[in-house]
Structure 1
Amino acid sequence: MNKVILMGRLTKDPTYRLSRSANPTPIAQYTLAVDRKYKVQGQSETDFIICKALGKNADFVEKYLKKGMKIAIVGRLQVHISDNNGTRRYYTEVIVEEHNFAESKSSYQSINNNQANNELNGGSQTGDGFVPVNEDDDLPF
């Protein structure tokens, strides 16, 4: 059985496109920041999981999900292998089958307001322990 359940926050607004097939399929992709349960030396660690939604799920993502939102997802793992000049690379992503909101709209809006205030004031962390990610940062994806 291949089943994944995750809860985290979107690191930036999702991307949305149509596939290049004869019957174009909507595809939405985003990265979910998921905190690990255990802390190392008092610091929590975060995993950044690439998530992809297809069809009606992609339409839902494009319409409702924005940077900073806390969501819970259910899906399956998919591994891609690519060969580049004899070097094999493995890419793992979650194909999302179900999206669930994990906080109220007012909570999300207050967190976004706090993030904006922190960025204006030079702060580096939101009230719930997440560090805002700038799109210019060198992230591993």
Structure 2
Amino acid sequence: MNKVILIGRLTKDPELNFAAGSGTAVTRFSLAVTRPFKKDETDFINCIAFGKTGETIAQYLTKGRQLAVTGSIRTGSYDAKDGTKRYTTDVVVDSFEFIGSGNNGGAGRDQNSYNNGYGSSNTGSDYSNSSSNFGGMNFEEDMTPVDDGDMPF
């Protein structure tokens, strides 16, 4: 089983592009995810969202905004222009949830979720009010508030 659940903050604004030929929305972004029990250690994880999911992330989220995503890990490789082989690891986003207040309020939709049809929180492709229960985890009880002054971006 290849299932990933991440909670982190966007390191920069999401980049929205459209695939040549099909016109499918492709949004790339990076999440800064702090390691539990090690305040000074953070992983920067590359994520990709397709279709309506990607368009929504690009439209409503900006740098510093806290986000929970579910998806799967995808690895790949390519030959760089200098002839070396490069390896990639990305999380392909299936669904996400706005959490926290973020730096800009993200269109005022705190604790709303979006799902592209894969997963269990929504069955449509629209926003819906939800509790802060994501993947069976209650974040209101399990999370310690983050001081935005401690963030590196």
TM-score under structure 2 length normalisation: 0.66
The AA in structure 2 aligned to 1:59 is E
Give identity over the alignment, percent.
Answer: 41
Distance 1:110 1:83, change over 3 A: closer
Map of 2:85 onto structure 1: 88
Alpha-carbon distance in structure 1 between the residues aligned to 2:94 and 2:17: 18
Is residue 38–residue 44 contact of structure 1 (8 Å, CA) maintained in 2? no
Deviation at 1:131, TM superposition (A): 1.3
Map of 2:64 onto structure 1: 68
Runs of 4 or more, structure 1, over 4 Å off, are none
Deviation at 1:83, TM superposition (A): 2.6
- How many residues were matched structurally? 111
Map of 2:5 onto structure 1: 5
1:14-59 deviation digits (Å, cap 9, x = unpaired)? 01011012x21001111100001132xxx52010001110001111
Aligned to 1:108, the other structure's residue is in SS state coil
Whether 2:105 is the aligned partner of 1:108: answer no
Alpha-carbon distance in structure 2 between the residues aligned to 1:110 and 1:100: 16
Alpha-carbon distance in structure 1 between the residues aligned to 2:28 and 2:72: 14
Which structure's CA Rg is the greater one? 1
Is residue 5–residue 74 contact of structure 1 (8 Å, CA) maintained in 2? yes
Alpha-carbon distance in structure 2 between the residues aligned to 1:53 and 1:110: 21
Query: RCO higher in 1 or 2 (8 Å CA, sep ≥ 6)?
Result: 1
Map of 2:151 onto structure 1: 130
Which of residues 76, 96, 101 in structure 2 aligns to 1:99? 96
The AA in structure 1 aligned to 2:86 is R
Map of 2:53 onto structure 1: 57
Aligned to 2:57, the other structure's residue is in SS state helix
The AA in structure 1 aligned to 2:91 is V
Alpha-carbon distance in structure 1 between the residues aligned to 2:13 and 2:104: 17
TM-score under structure 1 length normalisation: 0.71
Aligned-residue Cα RMSD (Å) equals: 2.0
Aligned to 1:44, the other structure's residue is in SS state coil
Alpha-carbon distance in structure 2 between the residues aligned to 1:29 and 1:75: 14
Alpha-carbon distance in structure 2 between the residues aligned to 1:13 and 1:61: 10
Deviation at 1:89, TM superposition (A): 1.9
Is residue 75–residue 87 contact of structure 2 (8 Å, CA) maintained in 1? yes
